[in-house]
Amino acid sequence: MTNLEGKVALVTGGTGGIGAAICLNLAKAGAKVATNYRNQEKAEAWQAAVKEQGFDIKIYQADVSDYEACEAMAAKVVSDLGPIDILVNNAGITKDGMFKKMTKDKWDAVMKINVDSLFNVTRHVVEGMSEKGWGRIINISSINGQKGQMGQTNYTTSKAAMHGFTMSLAQEVARKGVTVNTVSPGYIATEMVMAVPEDIRNKIIAGIPVNRLGTSEEIAALVGFLCSNEAGFTTGADFAMNGGQHMM
């Protein structure tokens, strides 16, 4: 297993689904982990469940679409745990609909959470990493950011933008010992996907060559590697984890 003893990790949107698995994986590797939340009750219940497994993951209220809130969150994490070594930009939302019916509100909401958050959080973290000479930034995108998806013009645009952010920032900070990578999951067996009617879910699975959904733990394992010293030569890359559903 990756050894992240003594490293401080901030994972956005980490109290459910893929984000929760990433938090747990990093904590198991020895990192001091923090995440943000919007729903306090849900976050505290998750934190208590994680504590029962022996891990103390810090939670902070912060809206990633708010620049000042992200600045305050980063400062609090540094104050409580120490300088941030690892950032996983995982927070994201969907507001699906065909483009001809898409409202400006739906477009803006997705862009604020999925794209603006990249700047809002990373801006307050990357300088500290560069000064230290070591850092890992991982951006969680989507298969649909690579291939497009009907009814998701806003979401697909936001997830495609994420890798543009990755490639550009990676070039700026590579000499500082900071790597920046993208992970693009396919269909993962999260609560949201498992809530889809079984017949529709089976059609999705039929289109995946490995003939199953992925797991959050598989995504978390890749993120764990990208956070390691062994991944120091890996930057600006987009890792597709989709069971072969979309090959590039």
67 is catalytic: no
> Which residue in 168, 172, 166, 222 sits closest to 18, CA to CA?
222
Q: How many CB atoms lie within 10 A of CB 234?
A: 16
CA–CA separation, 21 and 25 (whole Å): 6
SS3 content of the chain, % helix, strand, coil (to 5): 50, 15, 35
The one catalytic residue among 37, 60, 67, 155: 155
Residues 10/13/18/24 CA torsion (nearest 10 deg): 40
In the block, tokens 């000479």 appear at 133
CA–CA separation, 129 and 82 (whole Å): 12
Helix (H, G, I), strand (E, B) or coil at 107: helix
Q: Which two tokens stand for residue 240?
A: 């597709």
CA–CA separation, 175 and 121 (whole Å): 21
Q: Which residues are catalytic?
A: 155
